[in-house]
């Protein structure tokens, strides 16, 4: 039997960070702020339709580079451009992967792996991570490694794409064109 303090509920004790179930809020570099998450259905759809894919053993990662407001030749999305810079990340776990308990466990594992590996300043891109059923049985260190590797690949691919876009814009500005064959 445990003793309780009059006028105090167990919820108040946990919220203050006292007791065996105390949870402290994340702050600083380990946080996963709202501005770094994909939340709207339209954003997810845009990544699926316009983006590219990266495959790994226990997940598929979709990514799409958001156009910068000053890009020439880029058509802005129909909706207002997001204010956040850097990576915005979302997760989708379909019902085919298991019951609610398994799906939520997959999302928790992925969220924590993203918190641990997300680059603080990366390309302006939206990322959607779709786990495979094997994510539940894989060691967490392997999940962290896969997520980190996916971020590296995305950064490399988008850096190359940006360099190509800058070179094309410079070529258009100089007025030089390749001769038509």
**Is residue 58 situated within a structural domain?**
yes
How far apart CA 123 and CA 144 sit, in angstroms, is: 20
More confident residue, 168 or 143: 143
pLDDT at 83 exceeding the cut of 70: no
Range with the largest mean pLDDT of 82-91, 124-133, 172-181: 124-133
Q: How many domains does the structure of the chain reveal? A: 1
pLDDT at 97: 94
Within 10 angstroms of residue 77's Cβ, the number of other Cβ atoms is 15
pLDDT score at 54: 94
Range of the domain at 73: 32-170
Q: How sure is the predictor about 85, in pLDDT bands with cuts at 50, 70 and 90?
A: confident
User: Could you give phi then psi for residue 158, rounded to 5 degrees?
Assistant: -75, -30
- Give me the mean pLDDT over the 113-125 stretch: 86
Residue 14 lies in a domain: no
Residues 18/2, Cβ–Cβ less than 8 Å: no
55-82 per-position pLDDT tens digit: 999 999 999 998 876 554 444 444 444 4
pLDDT of residue 159: 84
Helix (H) or strand (E) holding 111: helix 100-117
Model confidence at 96: pLDDT above 60: yes
Residue 132: inside a domain: yes
Structure tokens at 145: 């490694």
Q: What is the predicted pLDDT for the residue at 79?
A: 47
Query: With b meaning 16 or more CB within 10 Å and e meaning fewer, what string describes 20-39?
Result: eeeeeeeeeeeeeeeebbbe
Domain membership of residue 156 (yes or no) is yes
| Stretch 124-133: mean pLDDT | 94
Question: Which carries the bigger pLDDT value, residue 88 or residue 17?
Answer: 88
The helices-and-strands tally (H runs, E runs) of the chain is 4, 4
Which position has the higher pLDDT, 32 or 6?
A: 32
Q: Is residue 175 part of a domain?
A: no
90 close to 48: Cβ distance less than 8 angstroms: no
Q: Answer whether residue 13 is part of any domain.
A: no
List CB contacts of 135: < 8 A, sequence separation 6 or more: 58, 59, 106, 109, 110, 143
Residue 125: how many CB atoms within 10 A of its CB? Answer: 20
Close Cβ partners of 146 (under 8 Å, ≥ 6 residues apart) = 56, 57, 58, 59, 113
Q: State residue 38's pLDDT score.
A: 93
Q: What mean pLDDT value characterizes the chain? A: 78
Of the pLDDT bands very low, low, confident and very high (cuts 50, 70, 90), residue 35 is confident
Any idea what the CATH number is for the domain that residue 41 is in? 3.30.230.10
């Amino acid at each position: 039997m445990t003793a309780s303090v009059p006028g105090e509920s167990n919820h108040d004790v946990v919220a203050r960070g006292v007791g065996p179930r105390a949870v402290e809020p994340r702050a600083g570099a380990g946080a996963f702020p709202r501005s770094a998450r994909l939340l709207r259905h339209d954003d997810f759809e845009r990544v699926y339709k316009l983006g590219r894919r990266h495959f790994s053993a226990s997940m598929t990662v979709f990514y799409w580079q958001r156009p910068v407001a000053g890009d020439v030749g880029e058509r802005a999305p129909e909706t207002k451009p997001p204010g956040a810079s850097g990576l915005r990340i979302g997760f989708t776990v379909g019902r085919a992967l298991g019951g609610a308990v398994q799906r939520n466990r997959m999302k928790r594992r992925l969220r924590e792996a993203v918190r641990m590996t997300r680059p603080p300043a990366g390309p302006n891109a939206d990322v959607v991570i779709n786990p495979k059923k094997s994510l539940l049985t894989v060691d967490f260190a392997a999940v962290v490694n896969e997520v980190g590797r996916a971020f590296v690949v995305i950064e490399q691919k988008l850096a190359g794409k940006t360099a190509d876009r800058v070179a094309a814009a410079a070529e258009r500005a100089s007025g030089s064109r390749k001769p038509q064959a």
